[in-house]
Chains A and B, each alone.
Chain A
């Protein structure tokens, strides 16, 4: 599997971001840190560049894009459609295709029913900006190597969507060096899923871990279609200090026929039960604490628990809302420790 085009998560870390993209690097980093994530590989930027070289050896396409005016949507759309057509028509480089097929076979381990997700993994610094990341594509519940190869190409093509191109034009970004990794990762048929913040999203408190979870796949939480259960654990002691169990009327389950998800109702008896046991809350919190320590800053995490009770992280990224506040100390080192007492009792509460 030592292909320069396809690298397993276990072989990559944050430092590989330029060649595997942000999402791939982060999943690799978690895997290396011993955190369970659904296994996967990244189709590297080298693969994309190879493909692009075959398609646009003389740089015509790149120059054409750089010549487009931001927000001139009719022109951009025309260019985009043409480029994407060429991308679809260009034969997939054989060695890259073979490497993907091999990696896929290794991921499936002989399980023909295994499904994977294919997601774009952008290398741009701006990719942490949700507005950019959102322009990239994600394809779920893909079965079989052919589908994977096909969707890797579609991900690459998404870089040339109208929105994506217009976004780059608005920022006047150079096309040279534009690249993308593509993550190919096992799907988790989740019993429940959610998010986890390693600080309080409401108060910014770094000594708590807030976990939100609901039945099924995480998509219904992210989209706000259910009010998830909310659990708060103390990061230092692991004690669970709050449990707010809500009524979870529906859940998302994999739509294996069409890809994507199906919305199904939750049985009445289960709606108001907690979706996590105390042991699961504690384990999740311990994982959150480890990930935060690994990165040295609070994290915003997506997780799932599989039908076989395996706890897996799908994503971890730095918390950004409260992070700016951390730079301002709430107290100073005093020349004399008693100054703290004098300040409080001097009426400066």
Chain B
């Protein structure tokens, strides 16, 4: 496709500044800015993980995962043909590119290392993953337990009596550094298994594509996917709470539009049944409500625990279903049998014993690694990150109490090194018995950055920058981001062109329906969805789960066949088209759409 010499995407150096955002560069570290030589490379917008402009602290939530990802592919497991990912931030958006190894000698040298290192993990996967879960739970407990010092007028008497010899302000920095270190540890654990897990999937995927050239990606995913995955658990907990409410006779409190605070207050007046329902709620909340309405990269994506209105919005409908005696359970046995049937039929279509034997080996490996691939997000991006952001808010509160910030949320407008500086200011001021200098310094900066972020929101980020590659050969990139040569071609086509009423994406879940679009740009808008609408969104994650009970079809900008929207849509048996690149830009709420989950085409009618 690049033979034409056509350069469909702007070069990084051609990206125009957004008016009114002068000085934005100070929000992010110097190494995240585009450099002149970056014009020679192809970059794509990681809107899957970073669909909104990044606040200053967001640079950290981008940089830490990339330090871990690259470390594990480049240095720990030594993937033979691929190194890590480089990222850049422009106008608040994250663009990434990957590094390939092409020299055969170098690949050979790396392969020797890879065989030993990856081999050890694959061979001990189940044991290591069991230990991983324990490590993750310990890490989450550790970050929860970090004590943010109060900095009282006089230090605690225990400090004196214990003869410890260290004053409270010392712990400010120590606690902050431990909090950031925990974030780094989490991301390292995250990538400890992830690329190997995807690797096993890819091997099976490529085999299937060779054996069955026309097999839909979603069919490979169906053979590999687990049935009892954590992704469904938070939604299952809501169903359980709906049943409890009906059993305890407190279901009358739940109606559309009643706030969680009012419901909880009403429960208090209902005596024993109300108390018991709140106990059940508390049982579900830890850990299952530690699920972010985002993907773990934005502080303003709060968890269900932080904002009960998201989970509570699903309860009236579930309660109606319980009352009517409708089954809400996922038909896990039927799903398991269907998966077994699909596997057996594809296997039987292979023509030789050798093919069938290889199929068994590759699929077996996938079934070993997939529990990690499917479940790690709950531990990492949801549970850990929800706790982590709230811990940072405690530091934000400390800085606010001492006049450095106006509100605890403002801490996210600082880079993590700037927070370190602000805390140092505080430590010195507390020690000196003097006021902090930070109020005058930081508050105007915070206000300015908020303005810039608002302006950034209107920027139409190109899906990619730089010269179009001949093809995206790295299969890991294809699968993770749902990008192929074909989708690049689609994105580079200007909207409103010859087929301006059609968008092409990945056929992620079969079926064809027509209906009214509901475009949700952020998860915070979840409450706007009405029964029977077609969800159009940048990307979905498990906290969107309850929405799927209400919609007819799902369309996303980003995602491949293993993306959350795809998996859940298949489970609910509704059509889904993912990875369209531009659905949320080209479709507006209220338009009638036809979603064809067989062909991957969305038509604006």
* A contact set with B: CB distance below 8 Å: 200, 203-208, 232, 234-237, 239-242, 326-334, 337-338, 340-342, 344-347, 349
Q: Which of B566-605 contact A (CB under 8 A)?
A: 598-599
Contact B104 A347 (CB under 8 A): yes
Query: What B residues does A232 contact at CB under 8 A?
Result: 214
A-contacting 9-mer, from B35-43, B113-121, B140-148, B254-262: B113-121
Query: What A residues does B81 contact at CB under 8 A?
Result: 345-347
Contact B80 A345 (CB under 8 A): yes
Q: Could you list 8 examples of A-B contacts with CB < 8 Å?
A: A203-B214, A205-B215, A206-B212, A208-B212, A232-B214, A236-B219, A346-B107, A349-B473
Contact A205 B212 (CB under 8 A): yes
Contact A329 B352 (CB under 8 A): yes
Residue of A nearest to B357 (CB): A333
Give min CB distance, B163 to chain A, whole Å: 56
* B contact set with A: CB distance below 8 Å: 79-81, 104, 107-108, 111, 114-115, 118-119, 122-123, 199-200, 202-203, 206-207, 210-216, 219, 341-342, 345-346, 349-355, 357-359, 361-362, 364-365, 473, 475, 507, 510, 598-599
Query: What B residues does A207 contact at CB under 8 A?
Result: 212, 214-215, 219, 346, 349
Give min CB distance, A308 to chain B, whole Å: 29
Bound-state Cα–Cα, A20 to B79, Å: 63
Residue of B nearest to A205 (CB): B214
Bound-state Cα–Cα, A337 to B369, Å: 13
Query: What B residues does A200 contact at CB under 8 A?
Result: 213-214
Contact A340 B352 (CB under 8 A): no
Bound-state Cα–Cα, A241 to B575, Å: 12
Query: What B residues does A330 contact at CB under 8 A?
Result: 207, 210-211, 355, 358
**Chain B binding site: helix, strand, loop or mixed by DSSP?**
helix
Nearest 3 A/B pairs, CB to CB = A333-B357, A331-B358, A326-B351
Contact A236 B342 (CB under 8 A): yes
Bound-state Cα–Cα, A326 to B104, Å: 32
Contact A333 B352 (CB under 8 A): no
Contact A340 B598 (CB under 8 A): no
Query: What B residues does A334 contact at CB under 8 A?
Result: 358, 361
Residue of B nearest to A344 (CB): B203
Residue of B nearest to A345 (CB): B80
Contact A329 B213 (CB under 8 A): no
Bound-state Cα–Cα, A206 to B210, Å: 11
Contact A340 B213 (CB under 8 A): no
Give min CB distance, A298 to chain B, whole Å: 9
Query: What A residues does B342 contact at CB under 8 A?
Result: 236-237
Indicate whether A342 sits within 8 Å of B114 (C-beta atoms), given known contacts A236-B219, A237-B219: yes
Give min CB distance, A243 to chain B, whole Å: 9
Given contacts A338-B119, A346-B108, 17 further A-B contacts (CB under 8 A): A200-B214, A206-B349, A206-B351, A234-B216, A235-B345, A236-B219, A237-B510, A240-B598, A329-B354, A331-B210, A331-B354, A334-B358, A337-B361, A338-B118, A344-B202, A344-B206, A346-B80
Contact B355 A204 (CB under 8 A): no
Query: What B residues does A203 contact at CB under 8 A?
Result: 213-214
Bound-state Cα–Cα, A241 to B79, Å: 36
Give min CB distance, A161 to chain B, whole Å: 39
Query: What A residues does B510 contact at CB under 8 A?
Result: 237, 239, 241
Query: What B residues does A333 contact at CB under 8 A?
Result: 353-354, 357-358, 361
Bound-state Cα–Cα, A338 to B114, Å: 11
Query: What A residues does B361 contact at CB under 8 A?
Result: 333-334, 337, 340
Residue of A nearest to B354 (CB): A329
Residue of A nearest to B350 (CB): A206
Contact A332 B358 (CB under 8 A): yes
Contact A242 B207 (CB under 8 A): no
Contact B80 A347 (CB under 8 A): yes
Bound-state Cα–Cα, A49 to B421, Å: 106
Query: What A residues does B355 contact at CB under 8 A?
Result: 329-331
Query: What A residues does B358 contact at CB under 8 A?
Result: 329-334, 340
Indicate whether A341 sits within 8 Å of B351 (C-beta atoms), given known contacts A241-B599, A242-B599, A333-B358: no
Contact check: which of B200, B345, B359, B365 meets A236 at CB < 8 Å? B345
Contact check: which of A235, A337, A344 meets B349 at CB < 8 Å? A235
Contact A208 B214 (CB under 8 A): yes
Residue of A nearest to B81 (CB): A347
Bound-state Cα–Cα, A342 to B219, Å: 24
Give min CB distance, B352 to chain A, whole Å: 4
Contact B123 A239 (CB under 8 A): no
Contact B346 A236 (CB under 8 A): yes
Query: What A residues does B202 contact at CB under 8 A?
Result: 344
Contact B203 A341 (CB under 8 A): yes
Query: What B residues does A208 contact at CB under 8 A?
Result: 212, 214
Contact check: which of A234, A235, A326, A340 meets B362 at CB < 8 Å? A340
Residue of A nearest to B223 (CB): A236
Contact A332 B598 (CB under 8 A): no
Query: What B residues does A332 contact at CB under 8 A?
Result: 354, 357-358
Contact A326 B352 (CB under 8 A): yes
Residue of B nearest to A293 (CB): B348
Q: Which of A326, A329, A349 has the most CB of B within 10 A?
A: A329
Q: Which of A204, A240, A332, A338 has the most CB of B within 10 A?
A: A338
Contact A234 B199 (CB under 8 A): no
Bound-state Cα–Cα, A247 to B515, Å: 29
Q: Which of A232, A345, A346 has the most CB of B within 10 A?
A: A345
Bound-state Cα–Cα, A307 to B493, Å: 46
Residue of B nearest to A341 (CB): B203
Give min CB distance, A199 to chain B, whole Å: 9
Query: What A residues does B199 contact at CB under 8 A?
Result: 341, 344-345
Bound-state Cα–Cα, A327 to B355, Å: 10
Contact A341 B104 (CB under 8 A): no
Bound-state Cα–Cα, A207 to B162, Å: 74
Residue of B nearest to A297 (CB): B351
Bound-state Cα–Cα, A204 to B202, Å: 22
Residue of B nearest to A329 (CB): B354
Residue of B nearest to A232 (CB): B214
Contact check: which of B115, B215, B507 meets A342 at CB < 8 Å? B115
Query: What A residues does B119 contact at CB under 8 A?
Result: 338, 342
Query: What B residues does A340 contact at CB under 8 A?
Result: 203, 207, 358, 361-362, 365
Bound-state Cα–Cα, A236 to B361, Å: 21
Query: What A residues does B353 contact at CB under 8 A?
Result: 333
Contact A327 B362 (CB under 8 A): no
Query: What A residues does B123 contact at CB under 8 A?
Result: 338
Indicate whether A341 sits within 8 Å of B122 (C-beta atoms), given known contacts A206-B351, A334-B361: yes
Residue of B nearest to A333 (CB): B357
Bound-state Cα–Cα, A345 to B341, Å: 30
Query: What B residues does A346 contact at CB under 8 A?
Result: 80-81, 107-108, 111, 114
Indicate whether A331 sits within 8 Å of B207 (C-beta atoms), given known contacts A338-B122, A346-B107: yes
Query: What B residues does A205 contact at CB under 8 A?
Result: 212-215
Give min CB distance, B487 to chain A, whole Å: 18
Bound-state Cα–Cα, A333 to B363, Å: 12
Residue of B nearest to A210 (CB): B214
Contact check: which of B107, B210, B346 meets A347 at CB < 8 Å? B107
Bound-state Cα–Cα, A344 to B207, Å: 10
Residue of A nearest to B349 (CB): A206
Give min CB distance, B220 to chain A, whole Å: 11
Bound-state Cα–Cα, A327 to B354, Å: 10
Query: What A residues does B210 contact at CB under 8 A?
Result: 330-331
Contact A341 B200 (CB under 8 A): yes
Query: What A residues does B214 contact at CB under 8 A?
Result: 200, 203, 205, 207-208, 232, 241
Bound-state Cα–Cα, A237 to B361, Å: 23
Query: What B residues does A327 contact at CB under 8 A?
Result: 351-352
Indicate whether A204 sits within 8 Å of B354 (C-beta atoms), given known contacts A331-B207, A344-B202: no
Bound-state Cα–Cα, A337 to B123, Å: 10
Bound-state Cα–Cα, A190 to B199, Å: 52
Contact B213 A239 (CB under 8 A): no
Q: Which of A206, A240, A242, A344 has the most CB of B within 10 A?
A: A344
